Structure 1
Amino acid sequence: MSDTAGSLRRLWEQDAAKIVALLVVIYGAYLVSGLILGYSIRGQLNSLASLTFYIGVFATLALALNLHWGYTGLFNIGVVGFMAVGIYVMAFVSKPLYGTTGAAQVGGLGLPIPVGILVGMLAAAALGFVVALPALRLRADYLAIVTIAMSEIVRFTFLSSTFQQFQFPHTLAGDTTRVGFGGGSGLILDFPDPLLAFIDVVGLSGAYDGLVALVGQVVANNPDPIVHSLVYGVVLLLVVAGYFWLLKRTGESPFGRVLKAIREDEDVARALGKNTDRFKVVSFMLGCALMGLAGILWLMGQGAVTPNFFRPRLTFFVWIALIIGGAGSNTGSVLGGAVFAAVLYQGPLYFQNVVTSVFQPGEAPSSFGPAVSPLISGFDPMPFLLYTLDSVRQLQLVIMGVALVWLMHNRPQGMLGHRKETAAAIPLGRPGGDAGRSGGSDTDADAEPTPKADGDGSGGERRE
Structure 2
Amino acid sequence: MDLIAFATGLISLALIYGLLAVGLNLQFGFAGVINFGYVAFFAVGAFASALVTLPPPGSEAYLAASARYEIALGWPVWSGFLAAGLAGGLLALFIGAVSARLATHYLAVATFAMAEVVRSVLGNETWLTRGEFGISNVPQPLGDLFTPESYALFYLALIAVVVGVLFAALRHLGEAPFGRLLRAIKDDETSARTLGKRTARAKLRALAIGGAVAGIAGALWTHSLGVIHVGQFVPIVTFQVWLAMLLGGTGNHWGALAGAFALIAIREGTRFVGEIPGLDQIAAANPSFLPSLRFVLIGLLLIAVVRFFPGGLVPERRRRAPAASGAKAALPAPERIAPAGAPALEITDLRKSFGGLAAVDGASFAVRPGSITGLIGPNGAGKSTVMDLVSGVQTPDAGAVRVAGQEITGLPPEAIADRGLGRTFQTPRLYPTMTVWENLMVAGMPQRHETLRAGFLRAAARRQAEAEIAARAEAVLGELEMQSMRDERAETLSGGQRKLLSLGRLMMRRPPVMLLDEPAAGVNRRLATALFDRIAELNRQGTTFLIVEHEMQLVMRYCDHVIVMHQGRVLAEGAPDEIRADPAVIEAYLGGAVA
> Bigger shift: 114-123 or 273-282?
114-123
- From 254, 268, 271, the counterpart of 1:346: 268
The number of equivalent residue pairs is 338
Equivalents in 2 of 1:451, 1:228: separation in Å? 51
- From 132, 143, 146, the counterpart of 1:184: 132
8 Å contact kept, 2:251–2:316: no
Equivalents in 2 of 1:164, 1:331: separation in Å? 39
How far off is 1:399 after superposition? Answer: 3.9
8 Å contact kept, 1:419–1:449: no
Q: What is the root-mean-square deviation in Å for CA atoms of aligned residues?
A: 3.0
Q: TM-score, normalised by structure 1?
A: 0.66
- From 225, 236, 239, the counterpart of 1:316: 239
Aligned partner letter, 1:281: L
- 1:54 equivalent to 2:13? Answer yes
* Partner residue, 1:436: none
- From 28, 31, 36, the counterpart of 1:77: 36
- From 25, 37, 41, the counterpart of 1:66: 25
The structure with more strand, counted as a fraction of residues: 2
Equivalents in 1 of 2:296, 2:120: separation in Å? 27
Equivalents in 1 of 2:87, 2:162: separation in Å? 20
Aligned partner letter, 1:152: E
- 1:164 equivalent to 2:126? Answer yes
Equivalents in 2 of 1:461, 1:402: separation in Å? 33
Equivalents in 1 of 2:165, 2:155: separation in Å? 15
Equivalents in 1 of 2:122, 2:72: separation in Å? 15
> Bigger shift: 107-116 or 449-458?
449-458
* Partner residue, 1:364: 282
The structure with more helix, counted as a fraction of residues: 1
Equivalents in 1 of 2:177, 2:17: separation in Å? 28
8 Å contact kept, 1:252–1:422: no
Q: Summarize the alignment of residues 214-363 of structure 1 with structure 2, pairs less than 5 Å apart.
A: 224-343=147-266, 345-353=267-275, 355=276, 359=277, 363=281
How far off is 1:65 after superposition? Answer: 0.9
8 Å contact kept, 2:435–2:490: no
* Partner residue, 2:52: 93
User: After TM superposition, what 4+ stretches of structure 1 lie above 6 angstroms from structure 2?
Assistant: 457-463
- Bigger Cα Rg: 2
- 1:413 equivalent to 2:360? Answer no
How far off is 1:56 after superposition? Answer: 0.9
> CA 1:460–1:326 in 2, change beyond 3 Å: closer, same or farther?
farther
8 Å contact kept, 2:45–2:85: yes
8 Å contact kept, 1:124–1:288: yes
Determine which structure has greater relative contact order: mean sequence separation of CA pairs < 8 Å that are 6+ residues apart, divided by chain length: 1
* Partner residue, 2:574: none
* Partner residue, 1:450: 435
Q: TM-score, normalised by structure 2?
A: 0.52
SS in 2 for 1:110: coil
How far off is 1:67 after superposition? Answer: 0.5
How far off is 1:417 after superposition? Answer: 3.6
Aligned partner letter, 1:194: P
Equivalents in 1 of 2:68, 2:279: separation in Å? 47
8 Å contact kept, 1:186–1:304: yes
> CA 1:113–1:231 in 2, change beyond 3 Å: closer, same or farther?
closer
How far off is 1:109 after superposition? Answer: 1.8
How far off is 1:422 after superposition? Answer: 5.6
> CA 1:230–1:461 in 2, change beyond 3 Å: closer, same or farther?
farther
Aligned partner letter, 2:309: R
Q: Which runs of 5+ in 2 are unaligned?
A: 327-432, 451-472, 474-486, 492-595
How far off is 1:360 after superposition? Answer: 6.1
> CA 1:145–1:341 in 2, change beyond 3 Å: closer, same or farther?
same
8 Å contact kept, 1:83–1:124: yes
Equivalents in 2 of 1:360, 1:396: separation in Å? 15
How far off is 1:326 after superposition? Answer: 0.4
8 Å contact kept, 2:138–2:222: no
Equivalents in 2 of 1:462, 1:189: separation in Å? 55
